[in-house]
Structure 1
Amino acid sequence: MARIPVAQRRRDFIEAAVEVISAHGIDGATTRRIAEQAKANVAMLHYCYDSKEDLFADVYEYVAGKYREVIEGSDSHTTLPEAAQAILRGVMECYLDSPSFTAATFELVSWARRQHGDRGIAVYDHAFETLRKALTEAAADDPVTPEVIDEIAYVLATLADGFAVNWLTFNDVAVARGQMEVNCSVLDAWLSSRLATAAAKPARRKRAAKA
Structure 2
Amino acid sequence: MARIPVAQRRRELIDAAVEVIATHGIDGATTRRVADQADANVAMVHYCYDSKEDLFADVFEFVSRKYREVIEVVEVSDSPTTLPKAAEKILRSVMECYLGSRNFTAATFELINWARRQHGDRGVAVYDQALDALRKALHEASATDPVPAELIDEVAYVMASLADGFGVNWLTYGDASVARAQMDINCSVLEAWIAGRLSAVTAEPARRKRAVKA
> Do Structure 1 and Structure 2 share a fold, with TM-score over 0.5?
yes
Alignment of 1:139-178 (within 5 A): 139-178=142-181
Q: Which runs of 5+ in 2 are unaligned?
A: none
Q: Structure 1 CA distance, aligned partners of 2:112 and 2:151?
A: 26
Report the Cα distance in structure 2 between the residues aligned to 1:76 and 1:3, rounded to whole angstroms: 43
Instruction: Select 1:200's aligned residue among 200, 203, 210.
Output: 203
Query: Per-residue deviation at 1:56?
Result: 1.0
1:42-57 correspondence to structure 2 within 5 Å: 42-57=42-57
Two-structure CA RMSD over aligned residues (Å)? 1.1
Report the secondary structure of 1:73's partner residue. helix
Structure 2: distance between partners of 1:115 and 1:54: 13
What TM-score do the two structures reach when normalised by structure 2? 0.96
Partner letter of residue 46 of structure 2? H
Equivalence for 1:115 = 118
Distance 2:80 2:16 in 1: 36
1:1-211 → structure 2 map (5 Å cutoff): 1-74=1-74, 75-211=78-214
Task: Quote the offset at 1:209 in angstroms.
Answer: 4.0
* CA–CA separation in structure 2 for the residues paired with 1:32 and 1:77: 49
How far did 1:210 drift? 4.7
Once the 2 structures are TM-superposed, how far is the Cα of residue 207 of structure 1 from its aligned partner?
Answer: 3.6
Q: Is the 8 A contact 1:18 1:100 kept in 2?
A: yes
Large movers: runs of 4+ above 4 Å:
none
1:76, 1:134 within 8 Å by CA — same for their partners in 2?
A: no
SS in structure 2 at match of 1:50: coil
Instruction: Give % identity.
Output: 73
How many corresponding residue pairs? 211
Offset, 1:64: 0.6
Q: What SS class does the counterpart of residue 116 from structure 1 fall into?
A: helix
CA shift for structure 1 position 201: 1.2
Rounded to whole Å, the distance in 2 between the matches of 1:96 and 1:144 is 32
Once the two structures are superposed, residues 123-165 of structure 1 have per-residue CA deviations (whole angstroms, 9 ceiling, x without a partner) of 1111111100000000101111111001000000000110111
C-alpha separation between the residues in 2 aligned to 1:163 and 1:100?
Answer: 14
Using the size of structure 1 for normalisation, the TM-score is 0.97
Deviates more, 1:72-81 or 1:162-171: 72-81
CA displacement at 1:83 relative to structure 2? 0.1
Quote the Cα distance in structure 2 between the aligned partners of 1:3 and 1:143.
54
Matched to 1:125, the amino acid is D
- Give the superposition deviation at 1:2: 1.2
